């Protein structure tokens, strides 16, 4: 959530920042809501002062033996008016909160200008896309021919955008999860967490999924829970409404993730690129504001290391202002090469949220002078397991239909170097 003081004191600055995202701030409504709040606050303070004056006057009248009935009537009328104004004030504050909660984060000054993904800026590449001397197959054909996946069974069991992994498909997914967790915990210093896969509304509000993106969440029908769309939600909420004594804090978790993909109807309907249920290893950092920028670079490098060890060519892209997620101030996307599509596709987003999430979460730390201040939060996919499996299948396919297993994964598959048909 944006700083309310900034909204009140520098609304034009906020409007200019949001305009970079293609978001138009309704300055007239903002001022109206703030003026209404201030007017009610002034009226309430005046009424309370008047009530105090009348209360003292009633007491003095009674002590001196005078008739206090008229003064008591005035006091009663003022108290009634106070109750009305207090209700109006609650409504005004709720209207202000509702308005502010719809405002996205301000882009960092380093974020490039642009309207959509076409204006994103490539920063660097790692690895060279492989040249094949045979007809390239996509991951669906490879997985089915090797007996690793059954898309028809997934559709029968649940519907479209689901898959059943089996045999080496299931083993390879499990190996990827374990490999990713081992790298992040043993080498990069993240604390592994096994969180709930359900979250309450307060948790989803804290990380910015609610109220704006409720249509993309799976909600339980008769209970106040949602299936988590990413482990970012429980990991970042671990320290909600607390003052953290030691920073940085680093968490990682493997979880299944659940998304309606409401905004992606008709996109990537074939295969495992965009599913309603998918696995992901998430990495989260909570840091002091002065360490925020460096932490973003570090966290991104931690996600990159997984792709490098799996020998998957990728590029790093800085998202332009118009393509940023709702809560993000700055985002790097890692895009892995998919031979069947002849293009790079997103496999991880690494974002710095500044204090935006922390303000919603009331997540603070103590400065050197002991005063509490909002922390900064960051997160990234380290990585999306399904898309990593897709990239492995396509980049490491062989002419005879088999799949070469990258050296980094072999210890997690009992030393298997090549996967052949089952």
Catalytic-role residue among 346, 366, 402, 404: 346
Residue 311 among known ligand-binding residues: no
Report d(CA 278, CA 339) in Å as an integer. Answer: 22
Query: Binding residue per annotation — 282?
Result: yes
Q: Residue 160, annotated ligand binder?
A: no
> Binding site annotation covers 348?
yes
Is 232 within any annotated ligand binding site?
Answer: yes
Q: Which of 349, 351, 360, 394 is catalytic?
A: 349
237 marked as part of a ligand binding site? no
Active site residue 366: no
245 is in an annotated binding site: no
Residue 86 annotated in ligand binding: no
349: alpha, beta or left, given left = phi > 0 and alpha = psi -120 to 50? beta
Residue 259 among the catalytic residues: yes
Q: Is 360 a catalytic residue?
A: no
Nearest Cα residue to 285 out of 214, 215, 358 = 358
Of the candidates 259, 359, 360, 364, the residue annotated as catalytic is: 259
SS3 75: helix
128 is in an annotated binding site: no
For residue 118, give every residue at least 6 positions away whose Cβ sits within 8 Å of its Cβ, in sequence order, or none: none
- The response to whether 347 counts as a known ligand-binding position is yes
Q: Is 379 annotated as a binding residue?
A: yes
Q: How many CB atoms lie within 10 A of CB 63?
A: 9
CB atoms within 10 A of CB 371: 9
- Which one of the listed residues 20, 304, 387, 394 is annotated catalytic? 387
Does 381 show up as a binding residue in the annotation? yes
Catalytic residue among 48, 274, 366, 404: 274
DSSP 208: T
The two three-digit tokens of residue 330, written as one number: 């700055």
Sequence-ordered list of residues with C-beta below 8 angstroms from that of 46, at least 6 positions apart, any chain? none
CA distances from 311 to 37, 43, 169, 306, 387 (A): 57, 67, 19, 9, 14
Any binding-site annotation on 309? no
User: Is-contact 222 202, C-beta < 8 A?
Assistant: no
Task: Could you list the residues known to form a binding site for ATP, using ranges.
Answer: 259-261, 346-349
Task: Could you list the residues known to form a binding site, using ranges.
Answer: 230-232, 259-261, 282, 346-349, 379, 381
Task: Could you list the residues known to form a binding site for L-serine, using ranges.
Answer: 230-232, 259, 282, 379, 381
Active site residues: 259, 274, 346, 349, 387
């Amino acid at each position: 959530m944006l700083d309310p003081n900034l909204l009140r004191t520098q609304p034009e600055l906020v409007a200019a920042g949001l305009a970079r995202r293609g978001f138009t701030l309704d300055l007239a409504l903002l001022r109206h809501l703030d003026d209404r709040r201030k007017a009610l606050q002034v009226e309430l303070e005046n009424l309370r002062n008047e009530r105090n004056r009348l209360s003292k006057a009633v007491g003095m009248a009674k002590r001196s033996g005078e008739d206090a009935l008229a003064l008591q009537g005035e006091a009663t009328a003022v108290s009634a008016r106070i109750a009305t104004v207090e209700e109006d004030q609650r409504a005004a504050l709720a209207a202000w909160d509702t308005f502010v909660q719809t405002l996205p984060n301000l882009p960092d000054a380093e974020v490039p200008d642009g309207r959509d993904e076409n204006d994103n800026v490539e920063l660097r590449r790692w690895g060279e896309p492989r040249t094949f001397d045979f007809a390239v197959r996509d991951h669906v054909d490879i997985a089915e021919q090797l007996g690793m996946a059954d898309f028809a069974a997934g559709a029968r069991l649940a519907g479209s955008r689901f898959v059943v992994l089996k045999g080496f498909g299931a083993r390879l997914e499990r190996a990827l999860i374990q490999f990713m967790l081992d790298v992040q915990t043993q080498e990069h210093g993240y604390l592994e967490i096994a969180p709930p896969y359900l979250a309450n509304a307060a948790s989803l509000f804290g990380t910015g999924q609610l109220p704006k993106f409720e249509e993309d969440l799976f909600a339980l029908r008769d209970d106040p829970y949602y299936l988590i769309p990413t482990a970012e939600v429980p990991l970042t909420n671990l320290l909600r409404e607390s003052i953290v004594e030691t920073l940085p804090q680093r968490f990682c978790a493997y979880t299944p993730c659940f998304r309606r993909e409401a905004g992606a109807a008709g996109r990537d309907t074939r295969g495992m690129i965009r599913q309603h249920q998918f696995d992901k290893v998430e990495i989260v950092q909570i840091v002091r504001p002065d360490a925020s920028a460096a932490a973003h670079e570090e966290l991104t490098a931690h996600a990159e290391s997984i792709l490098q060890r799996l020998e998957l060519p990728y590029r790093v892209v800085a998202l332009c202002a118009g393509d940023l997620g709702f809560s993000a101030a700055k985002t790097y996307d890692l895009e892995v090469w998919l031979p069947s599509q002849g293009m790079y596709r997103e496999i991880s987003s690494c974002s710095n949220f500044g204090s935006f999430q922390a303000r919603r979460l009331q997540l603070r730390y103590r400065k050197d002078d002991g005063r509490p201040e909002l922390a900064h939060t960051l997160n990234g996919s380290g990585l999306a397991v399904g898309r990593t499996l897709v990239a492995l299948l396509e980049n490491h396919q062989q002419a005879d239909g088999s799949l070469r297993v990258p050296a980094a994964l072999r210890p997690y598959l009992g030393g298997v170097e090549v996967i052949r048909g089952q």
